[in-house]
């Protein structure tokens, strides 16, 4: 399915929008198989602990290469949509593979992505968004995303640490929940959600028998150059990938992808 004017209007109204079957089952199955078997991604993955001590595993990288992951991030259908949303050429800030394993995958505390990016990375304007594609079904039972609908209109709220994560001021979160709907973003494999960097979101722990894997890419308006971050990709316009993902050579990620390395406590 293509990103439509109706999707764009829903995004600006609600702070997020889901496009069902944005990628085909065959496309996400191919990426999921590659990710599960990718030794380098496994080596580069690290744990992020929530407030209760449960862990979510993720790998995060900044540089696009010739891998299938990068072709997803550069796919013309995503770039066309993100250009519509942000109003100009977009850049790749980072991509990450989220691996929330059965019975042990940790929660993500309430936060805004811009809560991280403004303070830690020096992006002055919230001209940014994240795009998440489910590689496996995402349900309430296995800890799908939760969004506070319309919360992007609050602007940036203050953040502090919760476990090893940065969490939003819970006084603001609780007040927002009194007046704005809480949505569970349940998705099938291939569904894609676009969400504003100031939309408050969280996810519960995965205590089910089923994994929840997804790939998330953060995009930035190319003119929104950060003053702290050193990654050129965050302000270099993306050249869209126009090819057929199913007909391309399936390449795994390279060492040159510039992975985030978790700092020791």
**C-alpha angle 155/62/83, rounded to 5°?**
55
Q: What are the chain's domains?
A: 5-257 (2.60.120.620)
Beta-strand relationship, 90-100 and 108-111: unpaired
Nearest to 80 by CA among 199, 240, 248, 260: 240
- For 112-147, the pLDDT digits (tens) are 999 989 988 999 999 999 999 999 999 999 999 999
- The whole-number pLDDT of residue 249 equals 92
User: Is the pLDDT at 190 greater than 70, yes or no?
Assistant: yes
Sign (positive or negative) of CA dihedral 238, 221, 32, 187: negative
CA 136 – CA 78 distance, rounded (Å) = 19
Band of the pLDDT at 162, cuts 50, 70, 90? low
- The whole-number pLDDT of residue 164 equals 60
- For the chain, state the CA radius of gyration: 17
User: Is the pLDDT at 166 greater than 80, yes or no?
Assistant: no
The helix-helix angle for 5-14 and 76-86 (nearest 10°) equals 50
- The whole-number pLDDT of residue 116 equals 87
- For 16-75, the pLDDT digits (tens) are 999 999 999 999 999 999 999 999 999 999 987 777 777 788 999 999 999 999 999 999
- For 204-242, the pLDDT digits (tens) are 999 899 999 999 999 999 999 999 987 999 999 999 999
User: Of the ranges 4-18, 100-114, 240-254, which one carries the lowest mean pLDDT score?
Assistant: 100-114
The dihedral formed by the CA atoms of 202, 205, 208 and 213, expressed in degrees to the nearest 10: 60
CA 217 – CA 130 distance, rounded (Å) = 6
User: Is the pLDDT at 78 greater than 80, yes or no?
Assistant: yes
In 10 A of CB 261, how many CB atoms? 9
CA 260 – CA 5 distance, rounded (Å) = 35
Q: How far apart are the first and last CA of the chain?
A: 44
**C-alpha angle 145/79/101, rounded to 5°?**
30
User: Is the pLDDT at 263 greater than 70, yes or no?
Assistant: no
Band of the pLDDT at 171, cuts 50, 70, 90? very high
CA 35 – CA 23 distance, rounded (Å) = 16
């Amino acid at each position: 399915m293509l990103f439509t004017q109706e999707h764009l209007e829903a995004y600006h109204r609600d702070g997020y929008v889901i496009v069902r079957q944005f990628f085909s089952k065959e496309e996400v199955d191919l990426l999921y198989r590659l990710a599960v078997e990718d030794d380098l991604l496994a080596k580069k993955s690290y744990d992020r602990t929530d407030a209760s001590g449960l862990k979510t595993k993720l790998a995060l990288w900044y540089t696009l290469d010739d891998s299938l992951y990068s072709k997803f991030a550069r796919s013309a259908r995503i770039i066309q949509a993100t250009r519509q949303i942000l109003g100009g050429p977009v850049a790749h800030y980072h991509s990450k593979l989220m691996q929330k394993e059965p019975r042990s995958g940790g929660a993500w505390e309430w936060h805004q992505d811009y809560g991280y990016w403004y303070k830690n990375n020096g992006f002055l304007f919230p001209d940014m968004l994240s795009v998440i594609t489910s590689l496996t079904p995402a349900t309430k039972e296995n800890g799908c995303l939760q969004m506070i609908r319309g919360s992007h209109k609050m602007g940036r709220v203050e953040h502090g640490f919760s476990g090893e994560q940065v969490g939003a001021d819970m006084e603001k979160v609780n007040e927002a929940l009194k007046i704005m709907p809480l949505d569970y973003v349940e998705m099938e494999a291939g569904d894609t959600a676009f969400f504003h960097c100031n939309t408050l979101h969280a996810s519960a722990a995965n205590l089910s028998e089923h994994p929840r894997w997804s790939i998330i890419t953060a995009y930035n308006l190319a003119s929104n150059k950060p003053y702290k971050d050193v990654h050129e990709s965050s302000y270099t316009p993306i050249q869209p990938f126009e090819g057929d993902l199913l007909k391309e050579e399936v390449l795994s990620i390279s060492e040159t992808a510039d992975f985030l390395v978790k700092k020791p406590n």
